[in-house]
Structure 1
Amino acid sequence: MTTKNRRTLTAPELKGVDWKTSSYSGGSESQCVEIADATRSHSGIAIRDSKNPAGPALLFGHEAFAGFITGMNEGRFSRT
Structure 2
Amino acid sequence: MEQLENGVQATQIQGVTWRKSRRSNPSGNCVELAALPDGGAAVRNSRDPQGPALIYTRDEIAAFIGGVKDGDFDSLAGGSAVLGR
Shorter-chain TM-score: which interval? 0.7 to 0.9
Name the SS for the 1:52 alignment partner. Answer: coil
In 1, Cα distance between the equivalents of 2:7 and 2:68? Answer: 25
Q: Give the match for residue 53 of structure 1.
A: 49
Unaligned runs of 5+ in 2: 79-85
Q: Tell me, what secondary structure is at the counterpart of 2:7?
A: coil
Instruction: Please give the alpha-carbon distance, in whole angstroms, between the structure 2 residues aligned to 1:8 and 1:20.
Output: 18
- Alignment coverage as a number of residue pairs: 73
Match of 1:32 in 2: 30
Local SS of the residue matching 1:27: coil
Give the match's secondary structure for 1:39.
coil
Deviation at 1:25, TM superposition (A): 0.7
Larger Rg: 2
**CA-CA distance at 1:56 after TM superposition:** 0.9
TM-score by length of 2: 0.72
Does the 8 A contact of 1:22 with 1:35 survive in 2?
no
Q: Please, which runs of 5 or more residues in structure 1 have no aligned partner?
A: none
Identity of aligned residues (%): 36
Cα drift, residue 13 of structure 1: 1.1
CA pair 8-57 structure 1, distance change in 2 beyond 3 A:
closer
Q: How far apart, in 1, do the equivalents of 2:12 and 2:34 lie?
A: 12
TM-score normalised by structure 1 residue count: 0.76
Q: Supply the AA of the counterpart residue of 1:22.
A: S
Query: In angstroms, what is the RMSD of aligned CA positions?
Result: 2.0
